[in-house]
Amino acid sequence: MLTQAPKGTRDMLPQDAYLWHWIEQEERYAAEKAGYREIRTPVFEHTELFLRGVGDTTDIVQKEMYTFRDKGDRSITLKPEGTAGAVRAFIENHLFQDALPCKMFYLNAPIFRYENPQSGRLREHHQFGMECFGGKEPTVEAELISTLFGLLTRLGLKNLTVHINSIGCPSCRPVYHQKLKEYLGDRIHDMCETCQARFEKNPLRILDCKEEKCKAIVSGAPVILDCLCDECKTHFEGLQTLLRARNIPFAVDPHIVRGLDYYTKTVFEIIMQSGREGLALCGGGRYDNLVEQLGGPATPAAGFGIGAERILMELKNQGLTPPAPPATEVYVANLGADMKIPAFTFTQALRDKNIKADCDLSGRSLKAQFKYADKIGAWYVALLGGEEYERGVVKIRDMKTKEEEEIPMESAMERIGEIVLSRSPERRLSESPEEK
């Protein structure tokens, strides 16, 4: 127990950190290019926010929240999704008084859901999300989808199709609910218990059921797109025209209803190619009433969320993850106790030149230092000591080819820089890592 992470959680290990950094960098780049700026909201919020925001008939609220009482006897919940917190911050900080639309993104925010851990479903996952407040046109959804599509394409993912639907608004959705309930009428008794429970409170979610017997019944159900009011219809057609103009492959899928209550008009998902059936790579949509519902001024809004773990899973399944960069480019080995200080200062000087350098921290013999350098995949070993040092030279060994080169001490930094660069031309030593 003590050395076992809680069920449904995963460590990000040092050897995988570069993949997370790579994805985060691309996410930030994609969002900022579209004028979105970062927001960070707390990991926990008042439970009430999610009851009112996410909806108390949803699976998330009914079964999946991590809720507890704090020492002040307040009901607190670990964020089960990112939108409600962003809306709360938008209202609390009066961001609606700034220029609208107000566009924000969150980067790999930890999200907690007490789910049945199975392939692709974690109890703690991390979401990249983009939220746009104050834009009522379908251009908002088109921008979100286009940015997301561009990001996933840049990461290398192929064969992506965006599934879109419109679930109408408070004026046309009740008409559809009525039609759907009439159709389901006697049939509901042949459906699963979850669908039966949803019949009264949330009939739309019945369309989403993955049980074969329910899917068969649902396949003949009336379609919401036939019940949209003129405004919702025009909005949905407008979105499709924009997606076509950008050549984004999409499919209209009337069975996409999403598992959160706040959506109006557009909903969308990208389904995983390689995951379990029905597992979404990302999901989002428009939520025009949520800001007002939570106490802010009426503000149209839309956004999406995508799980970092699912992006990684898809990249790995499609064999698209880049190789790991070396943790150490140059390992500085010392020969003898009196070379420890020169080896230390030489290592620091290499680091000052933005070369990934390391030296012995364990008092190892020269042989053991070479063995260690090999084990950690160092590209080169720079040897300080022995008769070479007395002659004023440093010996560099290429750990792959075993070729060696003697370099005069006074030009060592420059020459090692050249050698490292020749191995990895995209590296620029003069720049800080952030500028790379």
Binding site for ligand HAM (CB under 6 A): 81-83, 113, 115, 121-122, 125, 127, 129, 131, 259-260, 280-285, 303-307, 309-310
Which residue, 58 or 347, is less far from ligand HAM as judged by CB? 58
DSSP state of 137: S
Which residue, 145 or 420, is less far from ligand HAM as judged by CB? 145
Which residue, 272 or 339, is less far from ligand HAM as judged by CB? 272
Helices 17-33 and 308-317 pack at an angle, to 10 degrees, of: 110
CB of residue 217 vs ligand HAM: minimum separation in angstroms? 24
Which residue, 214 or 282, is less far from ligand HAM as judged by CB? 282
| Spatial separation of the C-alpha atoms in residues 50 and 87, rounded to whole Å | 11
Which residue, 168 or 285, is less far from ligand HAM as judged by CB? 285
Q: Which stretches does DSSP call E strand in 83-123?
A: 102-112
CB of residue 79 vs ligand HAM: minimum separation in angstroms? 9
| Spatial separation of the C-alpha atoms in residues 6 and 332, rounded to whole Å | 40
Tokens of 403: 């070729």
CB of residue 198 vs ligand HAM: minimum separation in angstroms? 17
Q: Helices in 93-190 by DSSP H: which ranges?
A: 139-154, 173-184
In terms of phi and psi (left: phi > 0; alpha: psi -120 to 50; beta: otherwise), the region of 419 is alpha
| Residue with token string 């159900």 | 221
| Spatial separation of the C-alpha atoms in residues 427 and 356, rounded to whole Å | 11
CB of residue 260 vs ligand HAM: minimum separation in angstroms? 6
Which residue, 41 or 83, is less far from ligand HAM as judged by CB? 83
| Residue with token string 């290429």 | 398
Element (H, E) at 360: none
CB of residue 163 vs ligand HAM: minimum separation in angstroms? 12
Which residue, 129 or 417, is less far from ligand HAM as judged by CB? 129
CA 81 to mean position of chain CA atoms? 12
CB of residue 192 vs ligand HAM: minimum separation in angstroms? 21
Which residue, 180 or 270, is less far from ligand HAM as judged by CB? 270
The three-state secondary structure class of 373 is helix
CB of residue 50 vs ligand HAM: minimum separation in angstroms? 11
Q: Which stretches does DSSP call E strand in 215-373?
A: 250-252, 264-271, 280-286, 301-307, 330-335, 357-359
Which residue, 222 or 275, is less far from ligand HAM as judged by CB? 275
In sequence order, the 6+-apart residues with CB closer than 8 A to the CB of 401 are none
Whether 379 and 326 have beta carbons less than 8 Å apart is answered as yes
DSSP state of 409: G
C-alpha dist (Å) from residue 349 to 35, 193, 332: 39, 68, 11
CB of residue 375 vs ligand HAM: minimum separation in angstroms? 34
In sequence order, the 6+-apart residues with CB closer than 8 A to the CB of 18 are 324, 325
CB of residue 86 vs ligand HAM: minimum separation in angstroms? 8
The three-state secondary structure class of 333 is strand
CB of residue 172 vs ligand HAM: minimum separation in angstroms? 20
Which residue, 134 or 303, is less far from ligand HAM as judged by CB? 303
